[in-house]
Amino acid sequence: MEPGAEVIGKAINPGCVAEGRRRTFRRCAAVVLVVAVLGSAAGGRAQQAGLVAPDGSDSAPAMLPEAVAMPQSSAQAASAQTALGAIHGVVVNGDGAVLEGARVALSQTGAEGGAAPDAATQVTTSDSSGRFSFAGVPAGTFRLTVSSSGFATQAVTGTLQAGESCETKPIVLTMSGTASEVRVTATQVEIAEEQLKQEETQHVLGVMPNFYVSYVPNAPPLTTKQKFHLAWRSMVDPMNFLTVGAFAGLEQATNSFSGYGQGAQGYGKRFGALFADSATDNFIGGAILSSWWKQDPRYFYKGTGTVKARVFYAIANSVMCKGDNGRWQVDYSAIAGGLASAGISNLYYPEEAREGPGPMFANMVVGFGSSAIQNLFQEFLIRRLTPKVPNYGAAKP
């Protein structure tokens, strides 16, 4: 299962793919029905998530035909787009409160082929959450000049790499008469940490966790510690307990896995089994194996291109993932993690519900289909139902 599809695969139905047996059909069907009622329109604002083949070339995987027969002019445009990046951040006051309406001017002080030093190339203002964003920024040295009425002007400088999505440290405006200059020295780990904090605030309809989805183009990879933190944060989210409890009640009402019995004891066993399914799937596939094989457990939202291209992208991500090296590859972590989780579940499910290797592999194939459906919901629906998703903006030529 693609761990990037957090809401549907892990939050709404944490035991959907991990069980590896016939209960997959019942729960996934319930999930699809719930989400379909919640939303009506598919889509989302455009956001670039370019693909790179496992061998490191600039061609997309075979299952993403949008880029297979790209004309030369399109290839040149894609190359130019890759060379551009984005800069975004947040403006706060001395007390840490966000500042809305702060003026942020971007100057290219040494960009490759950019404007003259200190010439303002783009100007924007911070939104209601204090955030600002610049897209289509050439690689090179840059300066951000931030000002707001009643505050001292702040200058922030840094260096943008080709195709990089740079998240600055929070820019603090103080009630001072002296302007100051700060050098941006955030590491890739620090940037990933800030973006992870943002992902942990993503909730569909404001309640259902949507942690395993990244809306950031060219987001830096997560460290091992951050992958384990994301798995833990997903497991202990209050909605996970409520969802597990609801499905345990449904199983009890229909007397699923009758070997558990009825009453409080039967409900407790069903709750424990479902919660264990969620935990093993999150930690084995999303943390342990993804750290071992250096793969990113998140789903990277595409948001651009034709509907056909986005459909193929979502389906491909049921068996593909982005490696920590930024290249697309077979998602060994999710595949092996799903099998391991299903095997472990045989230790605590009733004997009549246990299955041998044959059915486990057959249900794994069904799991790929379920993951593809989850990704399609992520690509066309979930973003519109998730409030306060930051507008990082894809790099543009």
Token code pair at residue 49: 């998530």
Sign of CA dihedral 91, 95, 101, 106: negative
Asked whether residue 29 falls in the same domain as residue 104, the answer is no
Listed residue (184, 220, 216, 194) closest to 109, CA to CA: 184
The strand pair at 84-93 and 165-167 is best described as parallel
Q: Choose the final residue of a domain: 185, 208, 234.
A: 185
Q: Choose the final residue of a domain: 137, 167, 185.
A: 185
Asked whether residue 269 falls in the same domain as residue 312, the answer is yes
Say what the pTM is: 0.56
**CATH code: domain of residue 170:** 2.60.40.10
Residue 69 has phi, psi (to 5 degrees) of -110, 45
CA separation for the pair 159, 296 (Å, rounded)? 25
Do 21 and 360 form a contact (C-beta atoms < 8 A)?
Answer: yes
Q: What does the pLDDT read at residue 36?
A: 42
Query: Residue 32 belongs to what domain range?
Result: 6-53+191-385
Q: Distance from CA of residue 386 to its chain's centroid?
A: 12
How many domains does the chain divide into? 2
Asked whether residue 222 falls in the same domain as residue 305, the answer is yes
**Is the residue at 65 inside a domain?**
no
DSSP code, position 305 = S
**Is the residue at 276 inside a domain?**
yes
CA separation for the pair 319, 287 (Å, rounded)? 17
Which residues are within 8 A (CB) of 15 and not within 5 positions of it... i.e. 6 or more apart? 23, 27, 244, 247, 273, 274, 277, 278, 281
Q: Which amino acid is at 203?
A: H
Query: Splitting the chain (397 residues) into consecutive groups of 10 residues, what average pLDDT does each group show?
Result: 40 37 42 40 36 41 41 49 80 85 85 48 88 90 90 89 87 70 69 88 90 86 95 93 94 91 93 92 93 94 90 94 92 91 86 69 73 92 83 43
- Residues pairing with 204 in the sheet: 208
Q: What does the pLDDT read at residue 362?
A: 66
Asked whether residue 144 falls in the same domain as residue 11, the answer is no
Token code pair at residue 355: 């299955």
**Is the residue at 11 inside a domain?**
yes
Q: What does the pLDDT read at residue 16?
A: 35
Do 59 and 40 form a contact (C-beta atoms < 8 A)?
Answer: no
Do 40 and 304 form a contact (C-beta atoms < 8 A)?
Answer: no
Q: Distance from CA of residue 97 to its chain's centroid?
A: 26
